[in-house]
Amino acid sequence: MAIDDGPVIVGGGPSGLAAAIELRRLGNSPVTVIEREREAGGIPRHSDHLGFGLRDLRTVLSGPRYAGRYRELAEGAAVEVLTETMVTEWEGDRQLKLTGPHGRWEIEPPAVVLATGCRERPRSARLVPGSRPAGVMTTATLQQLVHLRNQKVGRRAVIVGAEHVSFSAVATLAHGGASVAGLVTELPKHQTLRAFRAGAAVRYRAPVWSRTKVSAIHGSERVESVELTEIDSGLTRTVECDLVIFTADWIPDHELTVMAGCELDRGTLGPLVDPALRTTRQGVFAAGNLMHPAETADVCALDGRHVAPAVAAYLRGPGEWPSHVRITSNRPLAWVAPNLLLATGYPPPRDRFLLRSREFVSRARIQVRQDGRELWSGRVGRLVPGRSAHIPAGWAAAVDPAGSPVIIAVK
C-alpha cells in the first residue's frame, strides 16, 4: 500500500498526530504523518512543565510526557510516521515532493492536512536594533538548550513579552540556573493569568516592566546589556544581562501553506479555514496553531480530532469544494478563527469561533454582522492580547452564502 492511497498529514505535533489517530479510528488506511524533526511530538517535546492534556486526554502531563503519549497513541493506531522527512516542494493540486535520509520521492495524496504549527517571531523580525551578539534567542531555542541538551545558557536574562509562554521562559531559565532581570512588554500590563504572574513574582522575583520596549541590544561577542525605553515618557535605561529571550508574538509556519496555493488570512497569517478546517484549496485541510497562533497543545489536538471526519467525508466522496464567505474582524480585534464559511452544517472545533484582540478591552461586547444585519451579539468578558476569547457558533447557519464578508467587531 502506497502512502498516497490515504490522507497525508504534514506536521507531527499535537494537532497532526491527533488528526492521524482519529482518521485511523474512522477506518482510513493508510494514514501518514510527515515530520521533519527526528521525533514526532512537536513543541511539547521541550516544554518541560505541567499542564498538558487537560482538554484532550483528561489528564495533566508534562510536555515531554504528553508528546510521548501521542507518539504511543499514533503507534497503537498504526499511523505511519515518517520522521526526518520534509515536504520540500509542492506542485499542482497535491503533488508533494519529500526529502529525507531515504531519498527524494513524490506523492500525490487524495487529501492533505497542514499541521505545521507556529513559531515565535525572532528579534530580527521585530526590528529590534543594536548589535548581533550571541545570547539572543526565542523561548523554543531556550527550552531546547535547557531541556533537550542540558546546556548552560547564561546568567541573567531580559525577557521580551509577558504572556503565558514568557513566564514559562522564566521557569526554564530558573531550571537552567539563570536569573531574570525582568519581563518587558509594550502593553500596559502583563497578559498571563494572575496566578502565574503572582507565582513568578514570588518564586523568581521577576518584575514586569510594562509600556516599555527593548530599544537596543548591546554587546560584541555576547550580550552585555539592553537599552529599555519607556514608551510614554521616552526615558531610557540600561539593564545588564547576557541573555535576551524573545517570547510569544507567534506567526504560523506558513511556507508550505503558501506553496500549496492556499489563501492566507491577514490576521492569523495562517490559511483561511472554514469550520470543517478546509482551506481555500480543494483537498487541503489545516489544523492546530498554523491557523490560530498560538493556543495550548490540547486545543490543537482537539482541532486534529475535529478535522478528521471532514477529511474522511471528503475521501468518501470528494466533489467540488463549495464557494465561501469570508469572516473578518475589525480593530481592535486582531483575528478570528475559523475565518471562512464554505457551507453550513459543520460546527467549528469546540463549537466556537476564537477571537484575538490587539488591546485590553474590559467587559467587551462583540457583534457579528453581515450586510448590515446583526447575526449575533453578546459579551465575552475581558479581551487580553495574546489570549483567545470565544463566541458561540450558532449564527453561522444564518449567514447568506451569497452575501458580503461577515464582520466581527467590538461594540
Partner 1 sequence: MSASLREGSAPKGQFDVAVVGAGAVGCAVAREVSRLGARCVLIEAGSDVGAGTSKANTAILHTGFDAKPGTIESRLVARGYELLSQYASEVGIPTVNLGALMIAWNAEQRDALPGIEAKARENGYEEARPVDLEELYAREPNIGQGAEGGLEIPGEGLVCPFTTTLAFATEAVAAGCELLLNAAVTGVRPSDGGHEVVTARGAIRAQHLVNAAGLHSDELDSMLGHAEFHVTPRRGELIVFDKLARGLLNHVLLPVPTEKTKGVLVSPTIYGNVLLGPTADDVPDKTDRSTTSAGLASLMEAGSRILPALEVHEVTATYVGLRAATEHRDYQLTAHPDQRYVCAGGIRSTGITGSLAIAEWVREALADAGLDLADRPEESSLRMPNIGEFGTRPYQEGERIASDPDCGRIVCFCERVTRAEIDAALGSPIPPVDADGLRRRTRALMGRCQGFFCGAEVAAALEGSDADGDR
Q: Residue numbers of the site for partner 1 (CB under 8 A)? A: 36-37, 84, 86, 88, 99-104, 119-125, 127, 129-132, 134, 137-138, 140-141, 144-145, 148-149, 151, 215-216, 218, 220, 251, 253, 255, 258, 266
Cell of 286: 489545516
Query: Of 78 and 148, which has the nearer Cβ to partner 1?
Result: 148
Rounded least distance, CB 101 to partner 1, Å: 3
Contact present, 17 and 39 (Cβ < 8 Å)? no
Cell of 28: 482510513
Rounded least distance, CB 72 to partner 1, Å: 24
Rounded least distance, CB 221 to partner 1, Å: 8
Query: Of 129 and 378, which has the nearer Cβ to partner 1?
Result: 129
Rounded least distance, CB 123 to partner 1, Å: 7
Query: Of 84 and 263, which has the nearer Cβ to partner 1?
Result: 84
Rounded least distance, CB 23 to partner 1, Å: 25
Helix (H, G, I), strand (E, B) or coil at 277: coil
Angle at 38 between CA 88 and CA 142, to 5 degrees: 100
Rounded Cα–Cα distance for residues 161 and 171 (Å): 14
Rounded least distance, CB 133 to partner 1, Å: 10
Q: Which residues of 211-227 are buried (b: 16+ CB within 10 A; e: fewer)?
A: ebbbbebebeeebbbbb
Rounded least distance, CB 102 to partner 1, Å: 7
Q: Which of 85, 47, 87 is nearest to 68 (CA)?
A: 47
Rounded least distance, CB 349 to partner 1, Å: 25
Q: Which of 368, 352, 364, 359 is nearest to 333 (CA)?
A: 359
Rounded least distance, CB 46 to partner 1, Å: 8
DSSP conformation class of 271: B
Helix axes 297-316, 63-76, angle to 10 degrees: 20
**Unique residue bearing C-alpha cell 488528526:** 19
Rounded Cα–Cα distance for residues 388 and 51 (Å): 17
Query: Of 213 and 350, which has the nearer Cβ to partner 1?
Result: 213
The set of residues, in sequence order, having a beta carbon less than 8 Å from that of 234 and lying 6+ positions away, is none
Q: Residue 59's CB: how many other CB atoms inside 10 A?
A: 11
**Unique residue bearing C-alpha cell 492521524:** 20
Cell of 379: 459579551
Query: Of 140 and 380, which has the nearer Cβ to partner 1?
Result: 140
Query: Of 279 and 370, which has the nearer Cβ to partner 1?
Result: 279
Rounded least distance, CB 129 to partner 1, Å: 4
Rounded Cα–Cα distance for residues 213 and 73 (Å): 44
Query: Of 26 and 251, which has the nearer Cβ to partner 1?
Result: 251
Give Cα separations from 45 to 37, 128, 168 (angstroms): 11, 29, 14
Query: Of 141 and 282, which has the nearer Cβ to partner 1?
Result: 141
**Unique residue bearing C-alpha cell 510614554:** 232
Query: Of 59 and 220, which has the nearer Cβ to partner 1?
Result: 220
Query: Of 128 and 284, which has the nearer Cβ to partner 1?
Result: 128
What is the per-residue DSSP string for 279-299? -SSTTEEE-GGGTSS---HHH
Q: Residue 372's CB: how many other CB atoms inside 10 A?
A: 7
